[in-house]
Amino acid sequence: MRSERLSEFFILTFLFSWILWIPVAMISAGFTFPEPIQSFLRSPYNPAAFGPTLAAIILTYRYGGRDELVAFLRRGIKRDFPRIWWAIILLLFPVITALALYLGVLWGDPQPFLYWNSNPLLVPIVFLYIFFLGGPLQEEFGWRGYALPRLQERYAPIYAAIMVGIIWGLWHIPLFFIQGSIQSQVPFWSFMILIISASVIYTWVYNSTGSILAAMIIHTTGNLSYFLFPVQSTIAGGVFLMILNVSAALGVLLFAGSELKTDFS
């Protein structure tokens, strides 16, 4: 069964990413490397985050050959799903994050500065940067495109979504020790709540569309929402963000139909 290859996928993913991330964490802790190596490790060109996608491509080709790889990659450009999904993948997380920030400000948080307000052209530029170098392209062929379908051969979708979310969150651990990363600015437990909730929602989107592209775009807008509405710089807003994300995931579980429902008996 294809699910038997999951251990190889996770091992390759973690090895590739952590081998390149751990030295960056060491640099943040004061360790030094020769300057060219140190500059490369800390640059946007460090390919560590491509671990999930590279592992998925390698294993798909190894076990399925060229034809299966081509079919796999085509799901990364699949756009023939109902148009309503474009509204969901483009707007869901920005709306959630904007609402969390608004509620936080009402609760007493200071209003953070919105960098894009004075230059709206920043939004498409940041969107493209995030899509290619901020997680989606680097990860979604692996998490939703490769791991999720194989886990769903053994488990109900909700269980597979939670398992992917936990592993996905743990994969980020070195980033919590890298100065300047988003993960270094938030508690680990809150990050895990957010990422498992996101995994449930991404699973719903992927199972409903069959498109890795849809998963990549909702991942992009999810990350973009923190640029648009910097809720992570607030206290109450961060709490509301967790509440709203968990509520959205529970809403998906209750109302998404066969894409996520399971028998808890």
Q: What is the DSSP string of 148-206?
A: HHHHTTTS-HHHHHHHHHHHHHHHTGGGGGSTT-SGGGS-HHHHHHHHHHHHHHHHHHH
Distances (CA, A) of 128 to 70, 132, 134, 144, 217: 24, 6, 9, 20, 10
> Which of 154, 208, 158, 168 has the alpha carbon at shortest distance from 53?
168
pLDDT at 265: 28
- How many whole angstroms separate alpha carbon 81 and alpha carbon 75? 11
Q: Determine the Cα–Cα distance for residues 218 and 48; give it in Å rounded to an integer.
A: 21
Per-residue pLDDT of the chain (265 residues; tens, 9 = 90+): 566 689 999 999 999 999 999 999 999 999 988 888 888 898 888 999 999 999 999 999 999 999 999 999 999 999 999 999 999 999 999 999 999 999 999 999 998 888 887 788 999 999 999 999 999 999 999 999 999 999 999 999 999 999 999 999 999 999 999 998 989 988 999 999 999 999 999 999 999 999 999 999 999 999 999 999 999 889 999 999 999 999 999 999 888 766 675 443 2
* pLDDT for position 1: 53
Question: How many C-beta atoms surround the C-beta of residue 173 within 10 A?
Answer: 16
Burial class (CB in 10 A: 0-12, 13-18, 19+), 133: middle
Would you tell me how many other CB atoms lie within 10 Å of the CB of residue 37?
12
Task: Please identify which residue in the block is written with the tokens 């743990």.
Answer: 170
Burial (CB count within 10 angstroms: exposed 0-12, middle 13-18, buried 19+), residue 76: middle
How far apart are the C-alpha atoms of 211 and 74, rounded to whole Å?
A: 9
Q: How many C-beta atoms lie closer than 10 Å to residue 64's C-beta?
A: 15
Sequence ranges of the domains in the chain: 2-259
pTM of the model: 0.94
The one-letter amino acid at 239: V
- Is the distance from CB of 223 to CB of 97 less than 8 angstroms? no
- 129: tokens are 């940067």
Per-residue confidence (pLDDT) for residue 3, from 0 to 100: 61
